[in-house]
Amino acid sequence: MRSTLAATETDRHNALSGLRHHGGTWLWLAIGAPLLAGALLVWQAWTLAAVLGGAIETGASLDTLTPAIALILALLLVRAALAAIGDRAGTEAAEAIKRHLRTALFSHLLARSPRAAEQPQSGAASAAIVDQVEALDGFFARYLPAMIGATVLPVAFGAIILPLDWLAGLLFLVTAPLIPVFMALAGWGAQIATNRQARALSLLTGRFSDRLRGLVTLKLFGRAEAETSGIIAASDELRGRIMLVLRIAFLSSAVLEFFAALGVAGIALYVGLTFIDYLHLRTTPLTLELGLFLLLMAPEVYNPLRLLAAHYHDRAAAKSAIGEIEAQLSSPLPSGERSTAKPAGEGAFPSPNAPQRPPHPALRADLSPKGRGEERGPLGLAVTGLTLRTPDAARIILANADLAVAPGEHIALLGPSGIGKSTLLEAMARLRLHEGMIALDRRPLADWPEPGLRTRVTMLGQKPRIFAGSMAHNIALARPGATAAEIRRAAERAHVDAFADALPNGLDTLLGEGGLGLSGGQVQRIALARIYLRDAGLILLDEPTAHLDPELEQAVLDDLKLYARGRTLIIATHSLAVAARMDRAWRIAGETLLPTPLPASKGKGVA
């Protein structure tokens, strides 16, 4: 167990290290400014000690001391400017790193199949990308510069003081390293508590998002009050975890302050006892100038460590945030731009012992660049040895299926509900993991670049997404640059105008989220209108007329068949009337895909 935790800590540290270079020049400036200010601090302390020593011991006049006093004021102003520059640079570096990371994580989510089994809940994903990434701000903006300063400056100060007074330098060099040791002991408990707090925050965010989405259902079933009480209880638990993290953070700061106070008190006691001739540990007398310099430097030696303690909890928060991002998004953070996401394509379910099947005849043609599908035209489809499983891989839906669809052919997939028709269409659109080979236009599906595939293949599922906005905007989702006339033409082809024109605002009528206020058939027709704005070579439709009456179904099919001329069309349906309008039909029976004779067409539209 301990080795596993160590490996996890190492991975998280590596992930944070890999993100540093995205801070660019700002991060180097945030680290360098405090170091330069520390060097100027030694100069300032020595000058101040010389001024005070000269004024007290030799009675130097103000005119004599004025240049030194001016130098002290100048050093103060320069150090203040360096502090401001360091803070600003740290903030800019952290913002650049967070912006890069959010972009990378969001791109990772978009690159994954929406049907992937490990797809995170939307609430958890948003919490990871927004809240957990935000938790990295303190690490890069404050902790990292403080950590570098605490590593370099106390040792440098001790090395400067050691030749001047061996006892004071030895005291600094011995006591300073003890502080990080005890901070680390307190930090172990802080890391565990912070991990639990980050996990509780993700769970609460995901739970709240899910309950908000299902608020109507909860109200209908009388569960709203119970779920509200549950969220309040979870919020109280999260509050308790946050307070525990703060208590441990205060403990680590108290440990540092204790040892820092001991170190400063020890220097003050040593200087005082030496001046009254109680201690005789020096071979030469301790001058007032040197004594003042030691007293001025004593708190400054511990100040970088005190600053590190103030931001030490930012380190624990960042590591916990990384672990939570990896857990929620199922991918390690980039140390370069690495990702463990598996493409939704061939080999998703490896079967090393499975026999190699010969390719389907449609795939035996050469795979030269010619005919690879970048140009327009209908796409041919070839399926060889296809095996589909449920998302948990526990049950086989389709086993070793073969299917060949010629370019421009219209095919019906028949079978009862739940048999696997939708899953097969999703596999053809590279939205479902599968074994075996699927090729479009004689090119393996896995080799198609994502933009080219989405341009050439379009799919309409059983539950299309309707967002809050006008009907026209929902239709234009398929092609945002479509003109009003093109949107109108698509609506007419999908018979959306039949109900839209009866509304006061027509296609500009606003819809609720999820198509609230529309029937199932109306939602399906709005989604179907999107198909008409695309110029796809392969059209995949899943029960496009399931909610329509027979007469409207035939009218919709007439326009669909007319539009699909010169395009490949595959429709999953349980309706024999729809299948009769196609060129061929295949039926899923059990785990097998079988060719099926077409029934006699009863439609009077386009054959």
Instruction: Give, in order, the Cα–Cα distances in Å from 202 to each of 99, 120, 248, 316, 318.
Output: 20, 11, 21, 16, 14
**Average pLDDT score over the chain:** 78
Query: What length is written for the chain?
Result: 607
Q: Is the per-residue pLDDT at 375 higher than 80?
A: no
Give me the mean pLDDT over the 396-403 stretch: 88
Under DSSP, the state recorded for 142 is I
**In the predicted structure, residue 227 carries a pLDDT above the cut 50:** yes
Tell me, rounded to whole angstroms, the distance of Cα 478 from its chain centroid: 26
Highest-confidence segment of 181-185, 299-303, 404-408, 448-452: 404-408
The pLDDT, as a whole number, for residue 344 is 38
DSSP H or E run through 320: helix 312-329
In this prediction, residue 252 has a pLDDT band, given cuts at 50, 70 and 90, of low
Q: Residue 32 has what pLDDT?
A: 93
Instruction: Give me the mean pLDDT over the 489-506 stretch.
Output: 88
Q: Is residue 4 over pLDDT 50?
A: no
Domains of the chain, CATH where assigned: 13-329 (1.20.1560.10), 379-595 (3.40.50.300)
pLDDT in tens, 140-179: 988 889 889 888 888 888 888 888 888 888 877 777 766 6
Task: Please state the rounded mean pLDDT for residues 541-556.
Answer: 86
Query: Regarding predicted confidence, which is higher, 365 or 472?
Result: 472
Q: Give the Cβ contact number of residue 155 at 10 Å.
A: 16
**Is the pTM for the entire model greater than 0.75?**
no
Kindly report, residue by residue over 81-106, the tens digit of the pLDDT: 999 999 999 999 999 999 988 888 88
pLDDT classification of 341: cutoffs 50, 70, 90: very low
Q: Which residues contact 364 (CB under 8 A, 6 or more apart)?
A: none
Give CA–CA dist 351/254, Å, rounded. Answer: 58
Tell me the DSSP string of 382-427. Answer: EEEEEEEE-TTS-SEEEEEEEEEE-TT-EEEEE--TTSSHHHHHHH
Say whether pLDDT at 66 is over 50: yes
CB-based contacts of 392, cutoff 8 Å, min separation 6: 117
Longest dimension (CA), the chain: 119
pLDDT at 147: 87
Higher pLDDT among residues 568 and 6, named by residue: 568
Distance CA 493, CA 413 (A): 23
Q: How confident is the model over 101-129, as a mean pLDDT?
A: 72
pLDDT for residue 602: 47
* pLDDT tens digits for range 456-479: 999 988 888 888 888 899 899 888
The pLDDT value given to residue 74: 95
User: Is pLDDT larger for residue 53 or for residue 175?
Assistant: 53
